[in-house]
Structure 1
Amino acid sequence: LDVKTTFLHGRLKEDILMKQLEDFVKLGKEDYVCQLQKSLYGLKQSPRQWYKRFDTFMINTGFNKSPYDRCFYHNKVEGGSMIYLLLYVDDILIVAKNKSEIQNLKALLSGEFDMKNLGAAKRILGMEIYRDKSQKKLFLC
């Protein structure tokens, strides 16, 4: 999965003022500025605010965060099996035994964020993903 316009999802906590764009300047108000309500690409706060928003959503959805990697989430689902989610900036990898659990999580995420389904993952973090369906195993190469 890919989150569209990732950094525009973050909410700003501090006041950030921006010079008006040329097309918006009105005669006599050339010195006016705009106060940003949400993150923009290029702001140093944008990646952090995006992460905070995503993290809050995942925790409120019932997922637990790994103590070893703050972008790795897990949750126990019906039947006792696990579902895992790995976030890398705007890319999301979901792993579970049951395909319906993956679809449910994708639907939850799509309800909160504008998502693009990229299909079955072939690469993550520069590594190839190899699936051995007969042995029900995943390998990173």
Structure 2
Amino acid sequence: MKSSLPTAKDSVVVPEESPALPEGFFDDPQVDARMRKVEYVDKMEVAWDQFTREMKQEANVSEKLEAIDDNERDVEREIIETDELISRWQKIEQMHDIKDSRFKVVKEGIKNSKKQTKNEIDNEDDDEELEKELQSMYNWRQKRS
């Protein structure tokens, strides 16, 4: 038998809790949050926190890019300096080669002039000896030693 009277089981329907006051009921957001028993969250503070986080991230990205650019610039500068050093060493080597070739020419010239002077001296000595012999023949009256 069913009775039409409500039983304790049927009448205990737990309604979902709905907030008594809608959000934004009060003009002051702090009072509104307090009356609804929720924590007050300042939208400006949240936006500021998000802004500072994004700025930190962008600053990190910027620093990384700047470091990469600095490294590339340093490498390029080192390459340029190395190329300049190489070209200067090549000029120095060319100057050494020119100096060596001129030194050889001068040295050969000195050797040749020494040979010529020696030959001339030898020729002069021969001429002197020949002249002495001729003198001695012409001076047959002199005593010979």
- TM-score tier after normalising by the smaller chain length: under 0.3
Structure number with the higher strand fraction is 1
Structure with more relative contact order (C-alpha pairs < 8 Å, separation 6 or more): 1
Please say which structure displays the higher CA radius of gyration.
Answer: 2
TM-score (norm 2): 0.18
